[in-house]
Structure formats: structure tokens, C-alpha cells
Structure 1
Amino acid sequence: MKKIETLAIIGCGPRGLSSLESLLKHLSKSNFIPNIKLFDSYPFFGAGRVWRTDQVETNWINISDKALKSLQGREPVKFENFTIPGFPSFIEWFEIHKFKFPKNTFYFIPRKVMGEYLMERFNSVKKILQEQNKIELFELEVSNVVFQDGALLIETPDNEKENADECLITIGHQPTFPSDQIKKWHKLSKTYGLQLELTPYDIKLDKRIDKNRVIAIRGFGLATLDLFRLFGLNDESKFKENKNDCFLRYKHDQISKNTIIPFSLDGLPPVPKPYNIKVDSLFDPEKELTEMFEIKIKNGLKANELFPQYLVETFISTLIPVLNRNPNCFLTADFSNQKIKDISSAWLKDSCFKHDCILDTDLEVTSYMKKTVLMAHHKTGISLDYAIGQLWRHLQPSMYKLFSYCGLDDTIMEEIINIDERLKRYSYGPPVDSIKQVIALSDEGVINFDLVKDPEVNASEDGWILKNNESMKKADIMINAVLDSPVLKEINSDIILNLLNNNVLKAVTSSLGVETFEDGQIKTNTYRQNSQIYMLGRNCKGSVLGVDAILECFGKRVEDWAKNCASRVNKSNL
């Protein structure tokens, strides 16, 4: 067995940080550390691009302080001659450096604050390893990893090269090939000299857009909500609470007001999470029901039950007792269990299914959002789809654990992932204040929803032209705020393309990401033992379920890799 003396980690965001910490924990049992080389194209080691600390305050995280209790701290890691110090949990760190979180309501922080925590946590490890000459940082993009003389050669676009005996790739969001629509817009922008912005989280984006402009935004997800705040707010504007209801008012300077025109394929907004712990408890399956759900899924996997139908049935069998605990809170109060089961099953199979207990997606957008806000505050009867989405959120950690490397056929996994993706409009929904802000901006004419559902987009010398059968608007700027899914065949980054061209990677299915073994080792068309390249994270979607959540960066998948990597390192250096 070849000695593993140098280990490379490519991509050092939260998952790279977690991988480093977990590896050190397992290596401490043998007192040996290989030389570790960390690569990232951004200078935010530990945080990565998504959580970079120089981004605007208007970019909000969509996971509450209560959920972030699961982001545990690091215990001290003791080696023979030195110790990696412990580090507090996120909640402990925040309450030391910022302020105490409110007890009963959910609080959502700016993304940059999470970045501060992650970078500080990383630096506390880096400092000790640098003192021991065991770590090197390279602020470089990696374009390829090639096999050479039994080792790995890590290459950059500038032809810099570094050696390693083994490599872990934990890169996050990657550029993708432009869609036909984006290609068309590129041509239109060049023909008519129009402004087209393709990166919604570019930190200089607001500097390139003047006040009093009409801005069209493609997409209606969390990135778009961040853009609403970025372009809807200025030094002369603010949101104020209404005295008589749970909504907000937008106070602004009429002279410097942008107009924003969002649109998406279905025109549907994200659905807010519950306002506080009391409301959220209506959807909490608690320990007993969660354990029953997990046991049923485990047994179903062992018995080769028909998935995803078995998942839907098991989920509904958990939903019904949750609804029956407080039946008068829900629009299904007078329904039999069988009727709830039938409606839930129909809607989970087809999101276009209509029923009086399901919020009507044909409602005008602001009316739809107002109803979801009232439900999030429990000031109206709660629709069945809202209840399903929130219970799904509570059960997602269990599903992410159970359906990763579960042995199901790849096409079945794709169906399960599709259900999870469709429900993310609810389960990954924003804080309720985000939706209140959107409503307030719409009420004041800052946001215009006339063309929200799949308009025709064209252009002229006067600007971008959006129209449907009822309306037509012109925009000065077009922003793409759609963040593409990690479909392997659509990724357009050098490292992925080169690994594909060298037959190092293969996809789970044509619509999913990289296929890996449970310890993160990449599955190739050659024998398993020939690969020294491992991969964790969102680009492995399909091998694992649940790739985008911050908490998953510190979860079991990383632990599995670290434990096995430490074992390989130790065996190779006996």
C-alpha cells in the first residue's frame, strides 16, 4: 500500500472545514498527520463563496436560530505534542459575539454572520497546524486532478502544479452551461447593448445598477428575495410594523425608487416558515412519530417495498396523527383520515391537484402570499399543503440520513429527489418577514407581479420587453437569479469537465450528480482500488439526498469519509 503522506482538500467552505476537523479527530488516535494542502479560489477559507463575509447584509440565511442549535462546536483534539483547541457551537459563539437570541420567536441572521463564525472556526485550526508545518493554503482555482506515477497531480489554469497522494473534492456551486433562454438573452444584450447580469450574488451587483431603474429578475426563489431587499431598500427607506395586523408597511423616498419585475416558470413564491416555536409545534412530529417514520422506512428498504410510493404512504401515516393532535387548526378539521390520505396522496403526486383544503395556486400572487403569512402566524386555518410542507421539513434530516447510499435503483432515487425538490418551496422556505417585505414592496409599487408567470421575453433598443396576454413591461436590466441544480452533464467548470473527459467521473443518472461510494470515493469505470479521488457535497446529488443544507456539511457523510481516510493514512504509514 502506497504511503499517504500528502492529502489535498479542494474546496474549503463549510464542508471542507468539517472534513478537516473530522479527519484530525480520527487521526489523533495514532498521532500522525499527513501534510494537508487546502485549495479554494476565494479567500474565505472555512466559509467559502456562499458564506463570504464581504457580502451585503440583505442576504439572509433561511434556517432559524433554533434549527442552528444542531451546528455543534468542536471538542479539543489532542495529539502527543500539541492540541487543536475546542470551538463553541454556533449559538454559543453568536451569543458571545452578538446578542442573545429571542426565546420564543425564530431569528434569521445575515449570511455573512455565518461566514464570520465559519472562518473564525477554521482559523483556530489553521493556526495550530501552521505552527506544526502540517498545512498549506492555496488561494487558487483547481482545473484538474490527474494520476501520475501512483500519485495525484493537482493543476490550476495557470499551470501551477501540486502533488498529493489522495484528494477530497468538496467544491460547492459550479458554473453550468447556459440554457437556450440564457443564450438567446446573451445575443439580445449584445445586439441592443442591454445590461444582463447572470450572478445574483455578485458583491458588486448593486454598484452596477443605478436608482430609478426597472429591473427584471428571472426566478422567484430565495436569491430573488435577497435581491428584492438589495434593490428595494436604501438609506431613505425602511419597513414598519402595522399596529392592527401582522403585516409590514414600506416607507420610502419616492425620488429614488426602483421597480422590480420578477418572473418564473410557475410564478409561485416561496412559502414562509412558521413565525415562532408555538406555531411550528403544530407540525412537529416529535420523537415518537419521527422514530416510527424512520423504522418504517428502514423496514421498507429491507423488504424492497415499492418506492417512492411507500415513502409517500409512510409520510402520510405520520401526517395524519400530527393533524389529529390539533384538528381545529387545519382546513381538514372535518375530514376523515381516509379523505386526508387521498387528498395528500393526490397532491404529492401532482402539485397541480386542486382542493378547497389546498391553497389555490391560481390566486393573485400577493393574495397567495398574504394567506401564507397568516398561516405562518396561525391567524387563519392552515391549508393541507402548508402542513405537508412543514412536516416534510421536520422529517428531512431523517430522510437525508435514510436515503443516502440506501441501495435503491438510481431511477427510483431520482423520483424521491424530485419529490423533495418540489417540496422545497415549503421546506426550504424563507423567514416569514421576507414574505411580509415582498408584500409591502408590492403594495407600494416597487415590485410588479403582472408578468410573474412565464412571460415572453424579448428586447429592443429601448430595453428588455416582457409580455403576456394581459400586460407588457419594459426593463432596463435583466438579472438571472435561478441557481441551477448540480446535474453533472450540465456543469461547466474546468475541474468537473476534465475529470469527466478523463473518465474519472460518472453520473448517478442523466439528471443527477456524481456517483460515489458511501465513504465518498468516486465510482469510476475501473476498479475501486484504483481511485484516490473522493468527493462530498452538492455535486454528489443522487448518491446522497440532502446536499444544500448547512447542517449536512457537518453530518454523517463527512464523518464516514474522515473515519475511512484516517484508517487509510494510518495503515499506509505503519
Structure 2
Amino acid sequence: MNAGDDRRIAVIGLGPRGVGALEALAALAETRGLRLSVDVFDPFPAPGAGPNFDPDESPLCRLNIPMRDIDLRAPDSLNVRPLADWLDPPIGPDDFPPRARLGAYIQHRLDALDRSQGVALSRIAEHVDAVRREGDGWLVQTGDHAHGPYAEVLLVPGQPKTKPDPQLADWQAHASRTGCALAQVYPAKDLLRKAEDWAGRTVAVRGFALSSFDVLRVLTQGLGGRFTSTGYQPSGNEPRRIVPFSLDGQPPFPKPETEEIDARFDPLPDETTVFEQAIATAACGTPETARQRISDSLVPPVHRILAASSAKTGADAVAEWLDTEWSDPGSQDSQSALDTLNDGIAMAAGSKPPSIGYAVGQVWRKWQDQLRQGYNPADTAPDTAALIVGFDEGLKRYSYGPPVDACRELHALIEAGIVTTRLSCDPGIALVDAGWRLTANGEDVTADVMIDAVLPSPDPAQLVDGPVPGLMEAGWLTAPEDLAARTAADGRLVDRDGRPVPGLCLLGRLALGSVIAADSLHDCFGMASHRWAEGVLSRIA
């Protein structure tokens, strides 16, 4: 094979997305008789897994995807077994694996890349401070040392450290002054160590989405409590009360419990073809065109599914629901948090007909691959991008839901009096010497512990370290208003003059707007990685 050392590549950050990109590059390079030198910069001990899938993380943190829906095939040339065959002990098809076990598998796939004929990997366990242009290449700065030059640099930032939002910044100052506890949900193993001192205390949780379910498990099962057929059996080590809250106060809806129930929401092939055409047109059209084409593709399958479930809901009602969702997502969900929780459990278990929103969310979940395939390669106008991304983000309360067992556990904790949802909807929050006083619906609770379970927005301007701030200042990385970094279809950053930057790429959530549904694990091993690999080899050739 031809040596590729004179065309060196740097990958900054890794995790599952970086592993997926390198697998695509290795497979493609091998078919073309190339062997490329790749330096991977990542100080995390398990760089393939990354912090979100740390093999040493608490097993209480689970994926929001059942085993039956996980399909992360490695290139044949790597000779890596599928996840279901690799796991020992195995995990049932309807079970939701711990993130740590998936992380161990992805780390195993990174190790397999060391045997690849397409890439020669060198790992540099250092934090990257800057990336700068030199001649036709790029230098990567770590401390006092400049590495390179590299023909290609790929940024895979994952969820980098950001500035705290104004509310969190105030709380950090308040906790520093008063000595009250303010904690982050992750790493959950660190949260568990802190929680060992919180027995009998009141804990508030900012955020009522997927991360809050990890918090609840850590503060209950992690401290010795047990969920049984009769409810929750406390250990006595738990907080006295846990108070989750968010802007809308609603828990997410769980995914269908079994494969048989999930299949009720399968779109027909003709319906999927219509959606594929709709999203391709929408991504290149005006906001109004996008809205109309996507809604028109959703109404027939959702109406059909509701009719099959004996729900007496007409197509006009589905269209009206979608109109409201585009303009005011979530406003249709006006029940109490407890009623929403109970309805979600019943719909996921198949004991209650699905609502319009639940059916829309499940169909949308099943079209995620088609959504990315139609949207991501397109050059979408910023106002259209903001509209479609906002629609996708709003539907996550249905499409990205937790396992139904997690919702049953939440219900059991409410029944046991450990969790209350009576203050879950946008409570007033006063900073007091004893902590945080939450007020809503004529009730108030003072928490002396606050846990932040809110995922920061993917705004490059809010990053506090690493190479992104410098790249923004130099004009290599740009972000339209209300969107993240602008990238071309192959991941190349788009500069302040609107031109793709040669040899400087970014993949992942920090490009939200240029790409969509980037939080999906499957997206890490999907076409975005292949388009990047194709672009690299075409430029190197």
C-alpha cells in the first residue's frame, strides 16, 4: 500500500462519532490502496466511548433505545461482531442497555481500528487549545507544543464545556456564598458520591427530560432503594423529597414497550416515499413550503394509525395538531405532569389508544434516517433550517422518550411521596440562605440541593475553551443566528465569506442547523461520517 504519512490527518475529540468517522475513512482508504496517518487528540481515558458512554459510568444510566432498535454495524474489514453478539451477558430485545456497556463496545471498535489497513492511528492524550492555518495545512496547539502540519483536521467536540446560562451562573454564585450544594447530573458516579450525604434533604432537579430519569435512579436505587411489584421500597438513604421542574413541567413520553406495540406505528413504504420527497423539497424551500410539505406527509400515516387503534380522530384534527406544533410546540399538552405520565405509560403499554401527539412522535422517530438523508446534504436557508430543527426538537418529547419502566419507576416514587410534580411547571425560584425556594400553584418548597440536568444549547459562541473560540475569531467557523456552526454536506466548516474551508471539518451536535437529529447514536455511524471520509480522500487524492 502507498504510504499516506505526507497527508496527515488530525481528529480532535473522538467518542462514538469520531469512531464512526474513522471507521468510514479506514474502510474507504483500504479499498483505494491507501494507508493514512491519523493523530487522535483526546485526553479522556476511554476516548472511543467518550464521557457520555464512559465504561466506568454508573450502570443506572441507560440508553433511550431498546436493543431491538440498535444497529451499529462496523465495516466488514474490521471483523467486529455486532453489539448483540458481543454483549456478555446478553441483553433482551426490549431492554434498554446501560450506556457504560455500549461505551465498552465502542471502545472495543476503536481498538479494532488499530488493526485496520486503511489508517495508522496515534493517540495523543492532550487537550487541544487552538487550531491555526499554516501554509496549505493546519497546526494543532496543545500547551506549548504545535503538532502538524495536517492536511485535514476533523473537530468532534461532542458536548464541550460552555459558559453557564444566566440562571445557572447566578446559582453558582449563590452556592459559593451559602455553601448549598449545586451539582451536575454527569458523571453520575460523581453525583452518587455526593448524594451519599443527602439523606433526608430536599433536592430540586432543573430539567424534566431524559437526564432527570438518571438522576432519579441515582438518588434512589443508587442509594440502596428497590423497585418491586408493590412499589418503591426505600433504603432510608434517599433524599426526603425530590422536586423535578422545567419550563413546561411535563415528563417525556415513553417509547412503546414491546416490538409488537412498536410495529403499530410503522409507516407504510408508500408513506415513507412521500416523506422522503417531502423532506428533500422542504430542505431546499421556504419555511412555508417546508411546513406544508412535512405536515402533508405526516397526516395520512398518523390518521391511519389512529383509526386502526379505534381512536376517533379525523385527518383534519391531525392537521390542526400539526399546525399548532409548528407555531407553539407543546402547547397542546395541558394536563398535569402526573396525568401526562399516566397517559404515556398506558399508550406505551398499548392499554390506551395513542393520542395524536404520541402517534406523530413515533412516526417521526421511525423516519429519522430519512430525515437526515434528505436534510443533511442540502444547503438549507437559515430561516427554513431554524423552523425544521425547531419542529424536530419539539417532537423529542415523544420521539426521544425513555423506557416505559423508567416512567413506572417515576410513578412509584410519586406514590411513595419521594418525588413531587406539583411544582414541576416553571416554578418561581427565590435564592434564600437555606438554598432555593420553589413556588407554584400556591405551594412552596425550599431545596438545599440543586441538580442541573439541562443540556446546554449547541451555540459555538458559548464555548469557553478549546479551538472553537479561536476559529470563530479568525472567521473559519461561523454560526447563523439561532443556529450552530455552519458546515457543508461533507462536514467542512463554512467561513465568514460563505466558502467551505479546505481541510477543516466539524461533525456532530455543534453543527445543528446544517445537520439535523445529530443527537442520535445511529447518526454517529451514518452517512455524515461517510460523506466526510469521501471528502477527505477526494481532497488528498
For normalisation by structure 1, the TM-score amounts to: 0.88
**Equivalent residue for 2:241?**
259
Q: Say whether 1:466 aligns with 2:462.
A: no
Conservation of the 8 A alpha-carbon contact between 1:4 and 1:166: no
Change (3 A) 1:301 1:220: closer
Deviation per CA, 1:295-343: give whole Å up to 9, x if none.
344356678771223212222233223333x141x3xx2x443344334
**Equivalent residue for 1:270?**
252
Aligned equivalents of 2:262, 2:159: Cα separation in 1? 31
Aligned equivalents of 1:300, 1:193: Cα separation in 2? 51
**Equivalent residue for 1:79?**
none
2:481 pairs, out of 505, 510, 518, with 510
Aligned equivalents of 2:383, 2:282: Cα separation in 1? 17
Change (3 A) 1:301 1:120: closer
Aligned equivalents of 1:378, 1:551: Cα separation in 2? 26
Deviation per CA, 1:100-125: give whole Å up to 9, x if none.
524xxx21011001001000111121
> Size of the alignment, in residue pairs?
534
Aligned equivalents of 2:387, 2:281: Cα separation in 1? 19
Change (3 A) 1:66 1:141: same
**Equivalent residue for 2:83?**
90
Deviation per CA, 1:123-163: give whole Å up to 9, x if none.
1212557xx9932101111121011233211012x323211
Aligned equivalents of 1:292, 1:57: Cα separation in 2? 41
Deviation per CA, 1:240-266: give whole Å up to 9, x if none.
125xxxxxx111234655421111111
1:555 pairs, out of 496, 510, 526, with 526
Aligned equivalents of 2:260, 2:266: Cα separation in 1? 10
Aligned equivalents of 1:406, 1:206: Cα separation in 2? 44
**Equivalent residue for 1:115?**
103
Q: Say whether 1:410 aligns with 2:382.
A: yes
Q: Say whether 1:390 aligns with 2:362.
A: yes
Structure 2 residues not aligned, in runs of 5+ = none
Cα RMSD of the aligned pairs, angstroms, is 2.3
- Give the CA deviation at 1:207: 1.1
Change (3 A) 1:234 1:170: closer
Aligned equivalents of 1:93, 1:337: Cα separation in 2? 45
1:376 pairs, out of 348, 356, 359, with 348
2:92 pairs, out of 98, 101, 119, with 101
Aligned equivalents of 1:431, 1:181: Cα separation in 2? 30
For normalisation by structure 2, the TM-score amounts to: 0.93
Secondary structure at the counterpart of residue 411 of structure 2: helix
Aligned equivalents of 2:119, 2:500: Cα separation in 1? 30
Conservation of the 8 A alpha-carbon contact between 1:200 and 1:227: no
Aligned equivalents of 2:115, 2:200: Cα separation in 1? 48
1:444 pairs, out of 409, 416, 435, with 416
- Give the CA deviation at 1:23: 0.8
Secondary structure at the counterpart of residue 449 of structure 1: coil
Change (3 A) 1:54 1:342: same
Aligned equivalents of 1:384, 1:39: Cα separation in 2? 46
2:213 pairs, out of 214, 225, 229, with 225
**Equivalent residue for 1:14?**
16
Secondary structure at the counterpart of residue 494 of structure 1: coil
Aligned equivalents of 1:402, 1:496: Cα separation in 2? 28
1:546 pairs, out of 517, 530, 533, with 517
Equivalent runs, 1:181-200 vs 2, <5 Å: 181-200=167-186
Tell me which moved more, 203-212 or 37-46: 203-212
**Equivalent residue for 2:303?**
320
Secondary structure at the counterpart of residue 50 of structure 2: coil
Change (3 A) 1:528 1:385: closer
Aligned equivalents of 2:74, 2:417: Cα separation in 1? 45
Deviation per CA, 1:534-553: give whole Å up to 9, x if none.
11111111111111100000
Conservation of the 8 A alpha-carbon contact between 1:218 and 1:263: yes
Aligned equivalents of 1:568, 1:348: Cα separation in 2? 40
Change (3 A) 1:3 1:55: closer
Aligned equivalents of 1:237, 1:194: Cα separation in 2? 25
Secondary structure at the counterpart of residue 34 of structure 1: strand
Equivalent runs, 1:30-109 vs 2, <5 Å: 30-68=32-70, 70-76=71-77, 85-94=78-87, 97-99=88-90, 101-102=92-93, 106-109=94-97
- Give the CA deviation at 1:463: 2.7
**Equivalent residue for 1:337?**
315
Deviation per CA, 1:68-116: give whole Å up to 9, x if none.
0x2113201xxxxxxxx4112222222xx222524xxx21011001001
Structure number having the greater strand percentage: 2
Aligned equivalents of 1:89, 1:159: Cα separation in 2? 42
Aligned equivalents of 1:256, 1:520: Cα separation in 2? 46
Aligned equivalents of 1:435, 1:100: Cα separation in 2? 20
